[in-house]
């Protein structure tokens, strides 16, 4: 009798859309939050927004490293979107620096505990299989895309923040990341798919915590 040495090939593949449909409440908490709602209403305090802005710069710095690790693990056919994302992240870091300067904020600050936890989580992904990394990368970008898009339009001075992550071009980029994650998940073992699911849930929780951080601590 022939032994099936790849049992995961006979099981349904996990998909990004299934993760979203199976965990609607967790994802809602990641993308709908009083921080974003108050930005849309124009009622967020400058101190709270500045707290988020400075900590998000630190987050994006680590996210850039995550993109580099993703490229190390990705198949060549997945290179172009990731390389494009890295180029966009370069511009984003410069943009954050300009926003901080305009607001007279120092970016040389210590990460808050929530930011530290998120950065440590991203660093831990470098040792995970590509399918897990690709799922995390997609989920993080989707959380920003949907979070700012759902709460658009926003009044000044938050309009450009909503436009940066909620614009149609970024939405299309995130769809490509979803396709690449799905492609990786079709080749993943059952164990790797389980890791990808847990990683998705971790991203949802960390996103919720990151928005909430702005209400807990003010930037010095």
pLDDT of residue 13: 86
String of DSSP letters for 66-116? HHHHHHHHS-GGGHHHHHHHHHHHHHHHHHHHHHHHHTT--S--PPPHHHH
pLDDT of residue 10: 54
pLDDT band for position 219 (cuts 50, 70, 90): very low
> Where is average pLDDT lowest: 1-15, 63-77, 107-121, 177-191?
1-15
Q: For 40-60, how does the pLDDT look when each residue is reduced to its tens digit (9 = 90+)?
A: 999 999 999 999 999 999 999
Whether the pTM exceeds 0.85: the reply is yes
pLDDT of residue 11: 59
CATH class held by domain 16-215:
mainly alpha
Burial class from Cβ neighbours inside 10 Å (0-12, 13-18, 19+) for residue 175 reads middle
pLDDT of residue 12: 72
pLDDT of residue 216: 81
Q: For 128-186, how does the pLDDT look when each residue is reduced to its tens digit (9 = 90+)?
A: 999 999 999 999 999 999 999 999 999 999 999 999 999 999 999 999 999 999 999 99
Q: Which residues of 76-106 are buried (b: 16+ CB within 10 A; e: fewer)?
A: eebeebbeebeebbeebbebbeebbeeeebe
């Amino acid at each position: 009798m022939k032994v099936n040495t790849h049992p995961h090939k006979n099981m349904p593949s996990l998909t990004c859309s299934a993760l979203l449909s199976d965990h609607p409440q967790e994802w809602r908490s990641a993308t709908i939050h009083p921080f974003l709602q108050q930005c849309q209403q124009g009622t967020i305090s400058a101190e709270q927004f500045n707290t988020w802005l400075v900590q998000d710069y630190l987050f994006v710095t680590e996210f850039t490293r995550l993109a580099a690790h993703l490229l190390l693990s990705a198949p060549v056919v997945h290179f172009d979107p990731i390389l494009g994302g890295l180029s966009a992240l370069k511009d984003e870091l410069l943009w954050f620096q300009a926003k901080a300067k305009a607001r007279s904020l120092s970016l040389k600050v210590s990460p808050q505990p929530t930011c530290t936890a998120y950065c440590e989580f991203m660093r831990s992904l470098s040792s995970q299989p590509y399918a897990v990394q690709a799922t995390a990368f997609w989920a993080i970008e989707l959380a920003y895309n949907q979070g700012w898009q759902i709460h658009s339009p926003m009044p000044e001075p938050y309009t450009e923040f909503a436009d940066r992550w909620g614009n149609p071009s970024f939405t299309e980029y995130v769809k490509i990341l979803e396709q690449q994650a799905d492609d990786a998940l079709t080749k993943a073992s059952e164990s790797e798919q389980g890791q990808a699911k847990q990683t998705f849930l971790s991203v949802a929780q960390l996103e919720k915590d990151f928005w909430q951080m702005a209400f807990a601590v003010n930037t010095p």
